Amino acid sequence: MTYSILLAPPVERQLKALTEPVQKRIVKRLRMLKENPRPQGVKKLAGEEDLYRIREGDYRIIYTIQDKQLIVLVVKIGDRKEIYR
């Protein structure tokens, strides 16, 4: 089962604001979510209904999974110091 990865419009801007090496690492990580949207190390965010996060170095990728439509919707990407604000 392959999921589709969708980026919310603010996420596209957040991704473009990062340096190229960091962008490549995050895009690689997003591609891995196509095959397994709940990889090892994923955490469900407390206090949120369907939000998950994965780490990529000092960056966090926050997303929701829609299993019925096979969609992973990325809602936020950012530095760990600022992502949860």
Q: Could you count the other beta carbons within 10 Å of the beta carbon of residue 37?
A: 21
How confident is the model over 56-76, as pLDDT tens digits? 999 999 999 999 999 999 999
Q: Can you tell me the distance from the alpha carbon of 52 to that of 61, in angstroms, rounded to the nearest whole number?
A: 8
Our count of domains for the chain comes to 1
Question: Percent of the chain having pLDDT more than 70?
Answer: 100
8 A C-beta contact, residue 10 and residue 17: no
**Residue 61 corresponds to which amino acid?**
I
Domain presence at residue 85: no
Task: Flag whether pLDDT at 85 surpasses 90.
Answer: no
Whole-number pLDDT of residue 37 = 95
Residue 62 is part of a domain; what is its CATH number?
3.30.2310.20
Q: Look up the domain containing 53 and give its range.
A: 4-79
The answer to whether residue 77 scores a pLDDT higher than 90 is yes
pLDDT of 22 higher than 90: yes
User: pTM, whole model, 2 decimals?
Assistant: 0.91
Q: Is the pLDDT of residue 83 over 90?
A: no
Mean pLDDT of the chain: 93
